[in-house]
């Protein structure tokens, strides 16, 4: 079970963690430095150690770090080795619903009456609106997280 204390898993530490997860192979401090755009291997090492202390990474016999556990980060969901904003995932769900609605509308358009067409058009508009709201919120959340990481990197 992942550690649920994510107060410390943000900023540069989160950036280093995401790099190690995406890499999928053992990572040393120099590799983490390059992958997370850090200023020195010692900064990368400090964050790798922090991740090990939190239980998300572990050292292998060669002193490199590998993923031990998937972290829970507020507002994100794991899909394979990628972490996506939950809002974008919700947007994709609404997009698939919208596609099904449009297919049903297209198949029944010629044979159905006016009330059905109006109802289904309204339904597709509501679904499309929900999809758009979730997509925009997901993109904005992702940008805010990236901006926070970049701001923290500048201050270190």
Mean pLDDT computed over 122-138:
96
CA distances from residue 146 to 21, 34, 98, 140 in whole angstroms, order as listed: 17, 17, 30, 10
pLDDT of res. 153: 66
**CATH architecture of the domain with residue range 11-67:** Orthogonal Bundle (1.10)
Residue holding tokens 């926070």?
148
CA distance linking residue 110 with residue 4, whole number of Å: 54
Evaluate whether 35 touches 27 at the Cβ level (below 8 Å): yes
Evaluate whether 44 touches 57 at the Cβ level (below 8 Å): no
Residue 8 pLDDT exceeds 80: no
Q: pLDDT digit string (tens) for 14-29?
A: 889 988 988 889 999 9
CA distance linking residue 90 with residue 135, whole number of Å: 8
Higher pLDDT, 51 or 74: 51
Structure tokens at 24: 């999928």
Give residue 9's pLDDT band: very low, low, confident or very high (50, 70, 90). Answer: confident
């Amino acid at each position: 079970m992942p550690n649920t204390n994510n107060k410390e898993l943000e900023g540069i530490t989160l950036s280093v963690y995401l790099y190690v997860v995406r890499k999928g192979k053992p990572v040393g401090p120099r590799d983490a430095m390059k992958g997370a755009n850090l200023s020195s291997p010692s900064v990368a090492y400090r964050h790798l150690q922090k991740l090990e202390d939190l239980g998300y990474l572990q050292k292998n016999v060669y002193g490199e770090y590998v993923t031990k556990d998937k972290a829970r980060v507020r507002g994100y969901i794991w899909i394979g080795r990628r972490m996506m904003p939950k809002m974008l995932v919700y947007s994709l769900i609404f997009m698939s619903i919208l596609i099904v609605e449009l297919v049903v509308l297209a198949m029944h358009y010629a044979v159905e009456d006016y009330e059905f067409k109006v109802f289904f058009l309204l339904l597709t508009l509501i679904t499309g609106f929900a999809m758009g709201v979730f997509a925009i919120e997901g993109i904005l959340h992702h940008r805010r997280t990236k901006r926070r990481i970049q701001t923290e990197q500048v201050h270190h």
